[in-house]
Structure 1
Amino acid sequence: MAKRADYVVPFRRKREGKTDYKKRLNLLKSRVTRLVVRPSNKHMLVQLVDYKENGDVVISTAYSKELKNFGWDFATGNLPAAYLTGLLCGFRGQRKGVKGAILDLGLLPSVKGSRSYAALKGAIDSGLKIPVGEGVLPDEKRISGEHISDKYENITEKFGEVRKEIVRAFKK
């Protein structure tokens, strides 16, 4: 008769490949609001999240589909859209009293100049204090969309207009 199991079943979210609990614990131990960045192929989700014992509490959210309300007529999964989404989330978080945060990429790889870091740059430009090495942030040409200007006509001008519109909406 067996006295114990020969194996231990890991947590469900670890089995499904959704959560790295070691990384999550280190983020939570800092007791700082997290800037959660979750890209998909077509869109970008950026949230400011606080930890509570009963579960995480979302302070502010920005989804790249919302950029259409500010006049963004281009794709919502590219680097300029990620920056604008981060900017939008940062301003919303500041309205609710958030001063700073740390980046939570989840299971995403840390790739220099990626959409994740563009969203982070947007949040920093909104006024949030977020520690980051300057070498990982995308340069201004990529953020404004110059690298895709041959595919999208007038994207750099539209980027500037939408950025001003977002800033104007939250500086009231």
Structure 2
Amino acid sequence: MAKGKRYSVKFRRRREGKTNYKKRLAFVKSDLPRLVVRRSNKYFNLQIIDNKPNGDVTLAHFNSKNLSKLGWKHSSKNTPAAYLSGYKLAEIALKNKVKEAIFDMGSYTPTKGCTIYGALSGAIAGGLKISHSKEVFPSKDRIEGKHISDKLSVDLNKLIGGKSNE
């Protein structure tokens, strides 16, 4: 792969497409913890991570798999589940004295109304202060799950205590 004296091999995580070092440097310079949202085929994994010289430290964590323990009987992958996961992560973060964060969506394509932004909306509704634009959030009907079923929106309101996302 490396040919010639002037060629320098890129960092391994850069070659694998796992780390964008320009974005990471901006996160480190901000001196604020990151709200990291990642999704798998079945679940959302939300973390608040602080950058330290010895390595990153996780301050709060919530996985949408844990929603079933709270009484959620629906999918853990849809927009209402993402919103609820963000809301519950914010509750955990506030208990751990984290009040402000920066949103890190990784290598996901920023699409208006996507489930990743649903998780961000839930974290903001839960009390975290995160810089954002309301234009990218999913509609209120999608967050409440009215596009799926009426029962889902009732269950969502039970779990967040009747608080609105606005």
Name the TM-score, length of structure 2 as normaliser.
Answer: 0.91
Q: Which stretch of structure 1 is more off in the superposition, 155-164 or 19-28?
A: 155-164
Q: What displacement does 1:31 show?
A: 0.6
Which residue number in structure 2 is paired with residue 141 of structure 1? 141
Unmatched 5+ residue regions in structure 1?
Answer: 168-172
Which residue number in structure 1 is paired with residue 161 of structure 2? 164
Partners of 2:81 and 2:5 in 1: how far apart? Answer: 50
Partners of 1:156 and 1:94 in 2: how far apart? Answer: 25
Name the TM-score, length of structure 1 as normaliser.
Answer: 0.88
Which residue number in structure 2 is paired with residue 60 of structure 1? 60
Deviations 1:34-54 (A, max 9, x none): 100101221101111100001
Unmatched 5+ residue regions in structure 2?
Answer: none
% same residue: 44
Q: Secondary structure at the match of 2:100?
A: coil
Partners of 1:36 and 1:30 in 2: how far apart? Answer: 15
Q: What displacement does 1:70 show?
A: 0.7
Partners of 1:26 and 1:125 in 2: how far apart? Answer: 25
Q: Secondary structure at the match of 1:119?
A: helix
Which residue number in structure 1 is paired with residue 12 of structure 2? 12
Q: Which stretch of structure 1 is more off in the superposition, 155-164 or 65-74?
A: 155-164
Matches within 5 A, 1:1-172: 5-149=5-149, 154-164=151-161
Q: Which amino acid aligns with 2:106?
A: G
Q: Secondary structure at the match of 1:111?
A: coil
Q: Which amino acid aligns with 1:93?
A: A
Q: Secondary structure at the match of 2:35?
A: strand
4+ residue runs over 6 A deviation = none
Q: What displacement does 1:163 show?
A: 2.0
Partners of 1:163 and 1:73 in 2: how far apart? Answer: 15
Q: Secondary structure at the match of 2:45?
A: strand
Partners of 1:73 and 1:64 in 2: how far apart? Answer: 12
